[in-house]
């Protein structure tokens, strides 16, 4: 007698968002019990418990690991224009909440180190999965997670600058994070909209079913290449400008006399460079498979 296999339960996008909303409600509820108000002024100098609950809740919305399982599930099944709006705007709402909390509260060095570690894992996890994904929209979803990690690294540099009383490092870190958040909204929306072009023309988003589309869809190929330049932080791309600001902040951290800033700056610099190289490999490969060579299926032909 064969025993039927039992699949492991997975959190759906809806249940993940409900969990995130639960953390937010708990954080705001505890904050109300402590302050008696929901005014934004109560978000400054918060106690640790509501601050951590709110950061976790906004982390669900922004897509930080290990709270990002909903993104690769939601994007492949959403229409292209919805994915563009979701990646360009919706995840930024969670990021806005995190920025608000970090701007109104001072984290100690241990908390900054934990936030940096989460950002590093988020960037690595996103870019590695983007490299192995054959579905275009799923690869773009994982890339959103990777870029949230890069923004988190920029925020870590800014927080580290505040902690070490280095205004130049703080300014460069926060400016790079904010610029990358804005630029990500541009090139990621562009790439998601172009995935809709590909889907309408070929009825497939699997890279293995495509190939040679530059011959049939030259304008889509050119715009996609522009998006790849931006998302890979190549020179002349907007992603290059924002990541360069973060790199300058990290260089400032390394040249500082503060030992914690020096160690964390070296680690973050190595991670940024490695993640950037992997992102370039991932999207150069994706562009080559989809647009170059010969058609590998009747759909692409």
Rounded to the nearest 10 degrees, what angle do helices 13-35 and 70-77 cross at?
130
**Residue ranges making up the domain that contains 237:** 13-291
255 belongs to a structural domain = yes
Domain membership flag for residue 72: yes
Q: Does any domain span residue 6?
A: no
Torsion angle of C-alpha atoms 74, 52, 116, 110, degrees rounded to 10: -160
Distance of CA 269 to the CA centre of its chain: 17
Q: How high is the pLDDT of residue 6? A: 40
Q: According to the model, what pLDDT value does residue 274 have?
A: 92
Q: Per the domain annotation, does 4 fall within a domain?
A: no
Residue written as tokens 């964390």?
264
What is the DSSP secondary-structure string of 71-118? HHHHHHHS-HHHHHHIIIIIHHHHHHHHHHHHHHS---HHHHHHHHHH
HSE-up of 121 (CA within 13 Å, CB side)?
12
Count of C-beta atoms within a 10 Å radius of residue 58 = 24
CA Rg, the chain, in Å?
21
Q: Could you give the number of structural domains in the chain? A: 1
Q: Is residue 44 part of a domain?
A: yes
Q: Residue 7: what pLDDT?
A: 41
**CB proximity list for 99: less than 8 A, separation 6 or greater:** 155, 178
Q: Are 166 and 252 in contact (CB under 8 A)?
A: yes
* Predicted pLDDT at 189: 92
Please report, for residues 50, 97, 136, 278, the alpha-carbon distance to residue 41 in angstroms, rounded to integers and kept in the order given. Answer: 14, 14, 43, 41
In a domain, 152, yes or no: yes
The DSSP bridge partners found for residue 206 are: 135
Q: Would you say residue 1 lies in a domain?
A: no
pLDDT at position 4 is: 42
d(CA 76, CA 135): 8
Q: What is the mean pLDDT of each run of 10 residues along the chain (301 residues)?
A: 43 75 90 83 82 91 85 84 87 90 87 92 93 90 92 93 88 94 93 92 86 89 93 89 92 79 87 92 91 80 79
Q: Is 270 part of any domain?
A: yes
């Amino acid at each position: 007698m064969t025993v039927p296999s039992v699949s492991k339960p997975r959190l759906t996008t809806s249940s993940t968002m409900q969990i995130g909303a639960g953390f937010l409600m708990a954080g705001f509820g505890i904050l109300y019990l402590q302050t008696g108000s929901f005014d934004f002024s109560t978000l400054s100098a918060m106690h640790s418990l509501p601050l951590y609950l709110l950061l976790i809740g906004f982390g669900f919305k922004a897509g930080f690991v290990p709270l990002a399982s909903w993104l690769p599930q939601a994007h492949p099944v959403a229409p292209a224009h919805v994915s563009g709006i979701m990646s360009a705007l919706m995840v930024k709402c969670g990021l806005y909440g995190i920025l608000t909390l970090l701007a109104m509260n001072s984290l100690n060095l241990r908390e900054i180190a934990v936030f940096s570690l989460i950002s590093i894992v988020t960037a690595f996890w996103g870019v590695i999965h983007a490299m192995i994904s054959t579905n275009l929209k799923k690869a773009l979803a994982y890339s959103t997670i990777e870029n949230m990690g890069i923004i988190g690294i920029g925020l870590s540099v800014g927080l580290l600058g505040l902690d070490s009383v280095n205004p130049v490092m703080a300014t460069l870190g926060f400016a790079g994070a904010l610029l990358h958040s804005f630029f990500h909204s541009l090139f990621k929306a562009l790439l998601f909209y172009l995935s809709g072009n590909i889907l309408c023309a070929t009825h497939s988003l699997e890279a293995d079913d495509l190939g040679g589309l530059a011959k049939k869809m030259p304008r889509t190929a050119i715009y996609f290449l522009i998006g790849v330049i931006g998302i890979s932080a190549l020179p002349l791309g907007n992603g290059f400008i924002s990541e360069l600001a973060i790199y300058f902040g990290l260089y400032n951290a390394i040249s500082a006399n503060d030992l914690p800033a020096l160690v964390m700056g070296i680690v973050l610099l190595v991670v940024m460079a490695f993640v950037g190289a992997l992102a370039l490999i991932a999207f150069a490969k994706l562009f080559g498979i989809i647009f170059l060579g010969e058609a590998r299926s009747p759909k692409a032909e």
